[in-house]
């Protein structure tokens, strides 16, 4: 039993009754710069928990804590490499694993649903998240360098096969919002403005459009698709499917992260969405920070950030007459088990991340 919290055992029935999960079909719409769910204005108040950084016996405990915080949704990445390893026997990609205990994403989503939580799903295919290779399988490079994260083969062929396993599974198991499930928002790629440029490179624009088309083909029209980029105009220009850049500009919502100045972040977001279709969504409000091996300890970081985050959260929620939406990154960080921790670079230096993501 975790101190001060529910046990990690089989508590689904009790917790579901306590938090009031529902299975009624619903639809998330956008009207007058607000999310609308079942005809009522809806504010997303999400917390990030990565199921792959939490032992599966503790998934329900961590999700219950999200609900106990007063949040109404959980946000998670889906790292491709975690679900599809290399098969040394066949010398090819292994079968996609969505069933073994630590990789049973459908179970994680059902647990969230049973606790009354909606889901913001971030299936990549690149996710970053300080995870090994940003969630891309290392076997993509087994035969030498290839173009990644753009409309090029063989990369896109592999992506289509991966999403062709993942996304239909969510639909078959009734996990999408319009099927009575919890998944209401689905992110396309991740902070693409750091890497590509849809405004200048046609293959990059086609890449995001193909991902959006794939998501629509497999998931239907029930999920609201979105992109997420830092809240500066240059990265938003490079990373979003705005109406001026893409035929899908009115279908894929542009959102922002960081949100140091929430009012300015919403102004930037609005400039990349059609009029009236830009509910403010700070898709990552950073409440902590990861650490690299060899960095000095920062014992007072949590207390310092708590004061800053509390004020920024208040301002985020106050945007647009109190309709601002947010996702706390992270609500619970967990652990990058084994060799799954990623790395960063700065000034030519390789900076490996520690296993702790708290």
C-alpha gyration radius of the chain? 19
E-assigned strands of 152-245? 183-187, 224-230
Q: Is 60 a catalytic residue?
A: no
Q: Which two tokens stand for residue 216?
A: 């629509």
Q: Is 165 a catalytic residue?
A: no
Task: Specify the DSSP class assigned to residue 52.
Answer: G
CA distances from 128 to 132, 189, 213, 271, 341 (A): 8, 9, 22, 25, 11
Buried b / exposed e over 259-269, threshold 16 CB at 10 Å, is beebeebbbbb
Q: Tell me which of 132, 189, 191, 209 is the catalytic residue.
A: 191
Tell me how far apart the alpha carbons of residues 58 and 115 are, in angstroms, rounded to a whole number: 14
Handedness of CA 247, 250, 126, 354 (dihedral sign): positive
Q: Tell me which of 130, 189, 251, 284 is the catalytic residue.
A: 284
CB atoms within 10 A of CB 295: 10
Specify whether the CB–CB gap between 71 and 46 falls below 8 A: yes
Tell me how far apart the alpha carbons of residues 135 and 187 are, in angstroms, rounded to a whole number: 14
Which residues participate in catalysis according to the annotation? 191, 284
């Amino acid at each position: 039993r975790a101190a001060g919290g529910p046990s990690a055992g089989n508590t689904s029935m009790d917790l579901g009754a306590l938090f009031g999960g529902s299975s009624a079909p619903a639809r998330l719409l956008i009207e007058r710069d607000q999310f609308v769910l079942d005809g009522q204005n809806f504010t997303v108040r999400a917390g990030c928990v990565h199921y792959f950084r939490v032992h599966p016996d503790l998934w329900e405990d961590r999700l219950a804590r999200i609900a106990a915080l007063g949040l109404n949704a959980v946000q998670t990445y889906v790292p491709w490499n975690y679900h599809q390893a290399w098969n040394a026997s066949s010398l090819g990609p292994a079968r996609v694993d969505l069933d073994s205990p630590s990789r049973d994403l459908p179970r994680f989503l059902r647990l969230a649903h049973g606790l009354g939580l909606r889901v913001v799903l971030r299936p990549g295919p690149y996710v970053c998240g300080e995870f090994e290779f940003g969630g891309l399988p290392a076997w993509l490079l087994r035969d030498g360098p290839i173009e990644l994260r753009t409309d090029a083969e063989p990369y896109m062929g592999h992506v289509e096969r991966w999403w062709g396993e993942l996304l239909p599974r969510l639909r078959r198991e009734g996990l999408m919002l319009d099927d009575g499930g919890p998944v209401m928002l689905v992110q396309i790629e991740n902070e693409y403005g750091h890497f590509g440029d849809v405004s200048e490179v046609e293959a990059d624009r086609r890449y995001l459009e193909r991902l959006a088309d794939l998501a629509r083909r497999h998931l239907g029209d029930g999920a609201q698709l979105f992109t997420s980029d830092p809240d500066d105009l240059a990265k938003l220009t490079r990373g979003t499917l705005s109406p001026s850049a893409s035929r899908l500009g009115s279908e894929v919502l542009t959102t922002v992260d960081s949100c140091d100045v929430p009012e300015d972040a919403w102004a930037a977001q609005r400039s990349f969405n059609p009029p009236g279709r830009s509910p403010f969504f700070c898709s990552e409000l950073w409440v902590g920070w990861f650490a690299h091996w060899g960095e000095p300890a920062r014992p007072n970081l949590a207390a310092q950030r708590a004061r800053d985050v509390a004020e920024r959260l208040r301002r985020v929620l106050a945007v647009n007459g109190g309709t601002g939406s947010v996702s706390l990154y992270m609500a619970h960080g967990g652990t990058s088990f084994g060799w799954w921790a990623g790395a960063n670079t700065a000034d030519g230096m390789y900076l490996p991340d520690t296993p702790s993501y708290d």
